[in-house]
Amino acid sequence: MRLDTSSSPVARQQSIRLVIERLLRDGSVSRAEIARGTGLSKQTISEVMRDLERDGWVREDGQIQGTVGRSAVTYALRPDAAFVLGIDLGGTKLHVALADLQGRIVADSVEPTTGEGGEAVVAQIGRMADTLLARAGVPAQRLRGGVMGSPGIIDPKSGAIVIAPNIAGLDSIDVPAALRARLGIDIAIENDVNLAAIGEHWRGNSRKARTFAFIAVGTGIGMGLFADGHLIRGARGAAGEIAYLPLGADPYDTRGMRLGTLETAIGSAGIAERYAGLGGEPGTTVRAIFDRLESDEAARTTIDEVARVIATAVLAVHSIIDPEIVVLGGSIGARPELKLRIETHLARCMREPAHIEISALGNQATLTGAIGSAIDLVHRSLFGIGTDASPLALPVAAEAAE
């Protein structure tokens, strides 16, 4: 379905935008309520609603009782008027989801990321998208956009993947153009940790915060930053590359040049090396180190040292953006044992320790952010509504999910 605004004057476009904004904010609303909230005439609202109903964007949602005994029909946006793709591309796993305009996932699939890289990854995404559309019974023309989370640095102007350390060949092709050619829709690309921060802001533990940090600790370490309600990308898309903070080791040690000093010190490989250096069994996984906290002094010391380094990083971040909350995610960052130790160290180095929370979305944070951002892109392209920092209509979508 497509809203035909090609022959509409600027005033009609503005009227449509105002009506859609009201519907997004309130969910279900009568024409009279739209008139009171927008200042548009009843005739204009009737014409706009007629067009939106005709083109499948709006439906009757119920009735409300007026003050003089008369009832009024209420209207709501149709969540199935269009669909979006959310894509979480990792070095080992690819998760693709098809969702409606309320963010409800109607079909999704997870596969190992192809090891052939580059064009083969694009082909894999295209095949998975085709399968999801068929499984959900959604016509391809109702797929209107998508967002993909990718590791590495994304150019904020072109959307190109500048550095993709975990997926060979992805930074040597025009990924947005290749995806558009394969899928027939625009797919925006964003750093995966930035999308995780957007996901947390939309449906996670930082919904009420305008300034916060999302720090993911796993194989590596990354950060997404919101300041005054806006995602901070930086001049070259590298804002939040916390892995390169000069903490945890000597920043002039060339071993930290490739992955960053902080990531080298407290990424999963660094944690395993630290444990072995304290007398633990070489090659032990981080999961096993956590499992041994109650009985193994080397494990306790290792995790305590890691927590101290992360607390120092949180202190550095806090001194720069003064976040209301710091959300920890990733396979390591989400461990409650680590959070407890970080809080202990923060209490020793901050007069008012930063408020720490574990991600409410877990490994779904990036995908959730991709879906929310894709919905925002669809609304912006069709109706001129939205921002470039976080999903549109956060209250509406969040309430729909609860």
Whether the per-residue pLDDT at 167 is higher than 60: the answer is yes
Band of pLDDT at residue 160, cut at 50, 70 and 90: confident
Tell me what percent of the residues of the chain surpass a pLDDT of 70: 91
Sheet strand arrangement including 143-150: 105-112, 93-100, 83-89, 143-150, 187-191
Enumerate domains of the chain plus CATH numbers. Answer: 10-77 (1.10.10.10), 81-197+390-401 (3.30.420.40), 205-359 (3.30.420.40)
Whether the per-residue pLDDT at 280 is higher than 90: the answer is yes
Whether the per-residue pLDDT at 183 is higher than 50: the answer is yes
The tens digit of pLDDT for each residue in 306-330 reads: 999 999 999 999 999 999 999 999 9
Smallest Cα–Cα separation from 20: which of 402, 348, 375, 390?
375
Q: Mean pLDDT, the chain, as a whole number?
A: 88
Band of pLDDT at residue 384, cut at 50, 70 and 90: confident
**What is the predicted pLDDT for the residue at 11?**
76
Alpha carbon distance 72, 249 (integer Å): 67
**What is the predicted pLDDT for the residue at 70?**
67
Residue 195: how many other CB atoms lie within 10 Å: 30
Q: Report the range of poorest mean pLDDT among 67-81, 115-129, 185-199, 352-366.
A: 67-81
Q: What angle do CA 133, 138, 143 make, to 5 degrees?
A: 80
For residue 111, give Cα distances in angstroms to 102, 115, 155: 25, 12, 27
More confident residue, 9 or 202: 202
User: Backbone phi, then psi, for 386, in 5-degree steps?
Assistant: 130, -175
More confident residue, 233 or 393: 233
Smallest Cα–Cα separation from 25: which of 387, 396, 378, 376?
396
Alpha carbon distance 263, 385 (integer Å): 38
Most confident of 34-38, 67-71, 111-115: 111-115
Residue 322 in tokens: 């003064």
Whether the per-residue pLDDT at 165 is higher than 80: the answer is no
Residue 215 near residue 327 (C-beta atoms within 8 A): yes
The tens digit of pLDDT for each residue in 48-107 reads: 888 898 888 998 887 775 555 567 889 888 999 999 999 999 888 999 999 999 999 999
